[in-house]
Amino acid sequence: MPCRGRRRRGEQDGYLTHTRQGRSNQYRIQTGTLLRHPADSNLTVGDLLSLLAQHDRRHGDQDAQRQTEPSHAGGPKADH
């Protein structure tokens, strides 16, 4: 789904609002909106963002290091 569709869906579901300011848009996350999936129905958008932030604080350094390490999936390359 293109970004435009995700934004529109977020607005329709009440997770996101936007206002036009000159030539740009300002987006606001509605942190008090309840998540719509039945398994998550007692959690708000703010709760989800808080969980993601906690994950990043605990694992962010490890994830960033993994992304910068060279990949050796193809094995060593031979010089020709």
Mapped to the 3 state alphabet, what secondary structure does the chain carry?
CCHHHHHHHHHHCCCEEEEEECCEEEEEECCCCECCCHHHCCCEHHHHHHHHHHHHHHHHHHHHHHHHCCCCCCCCCCCC
Q: What's the rounded Cα separation, in Å, for the pair 7 and 17?
A: 9
This prediction's pTM: 0.61
Q: Tokens 């958008």 appear where?
A: 45
The gap between the terminal CA atoms of the chain, to the nearest Å, is 43
More confident residue, 77 or 32: 32
pLDDT exceeds 90 at position 66: no
Return the pLDDT at 75.
47
pLDDT digits (tens, 9 = 90+) for 19-54: 999 999 999 999 999 998 888 879 999 999 999 999
